[in-house]
């Protein structure tokens, strides 16, 4: 049990760090390019913003393969973080499922007063 708690803590910390890094990267390094087809491509990765501000000729460019690579990395990291959260959730929930006692719930016991005050059902017949 001690090992599982350490493992859950590690997974939660790793997922939070990756999520923080993705959001920081998106907030600080998000930029756009216009590709060869005239489409606007927005993505985020670390680069030297100071050099671009001083020298317009130093703007970095990407090939279409790099756009695909950056998109696949972002998608893979997002999927990985989602899987980490699901695994941590399952590790939290599954041990508790074995301790649930199944019992039969009788609606009459729950709503006993309401059921006793009700009249018998009536059938309407048309002649």
- pTM check: above 0.75: no
In angstroms, what CA-CA distances link 34 with 2, 31, 48, 64?
53, 11, 19, 11
CA 18 to chain centre: 12
Question: At residue 124, does pLDDT exceed 50?
Answer: yes
- DSSP per-residue string spanning 50-70: HHHHH-GGG-----HHHHHHH
| Lowest model confidence (mean pLDDT) among 67-76, 79-88, 96-105 | 96-105
Q: What is the pLDDT of residues 41-68, one digit of tens each?
A: 787 877 766 655 555 444 677 777 877 7
State how far the Cα of 79 lies from the Cα of 7, in Å rounded to an integer: 20
Question: At residue 75, does pLDDT exceed 50?
Answer: yes
Which pLDDT score, from 0 to 100, does residue 52 have? 57
């Amino acid at each position: 049990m001690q090992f599982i708690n350490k493992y859950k803590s590690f997974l939660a910390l790793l997922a939070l760090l990756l999520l923080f890094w993705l959001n920081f990267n998106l907030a600080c390094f998000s930029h756009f390019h216009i590709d060869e087809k005239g489409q606007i491509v927005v993505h985020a990765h670390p680069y030297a913003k100071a050099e671009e501000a001083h020298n317009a000729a130093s703007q970095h460019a990407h090939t279409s393969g790099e756009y695909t690579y950056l998109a696949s990395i972002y998608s893979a990291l997002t999927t990985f973080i989602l899987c980490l959260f699901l695994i941590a959730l399952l590790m939290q929930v599954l041990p508790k499922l074995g301790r649930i006692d199944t019992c039969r719930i009788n609606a009459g016991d729950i709503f006993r007063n309401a059921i006793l005050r009700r009249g018998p059902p009536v059938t309407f017949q048309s002649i």
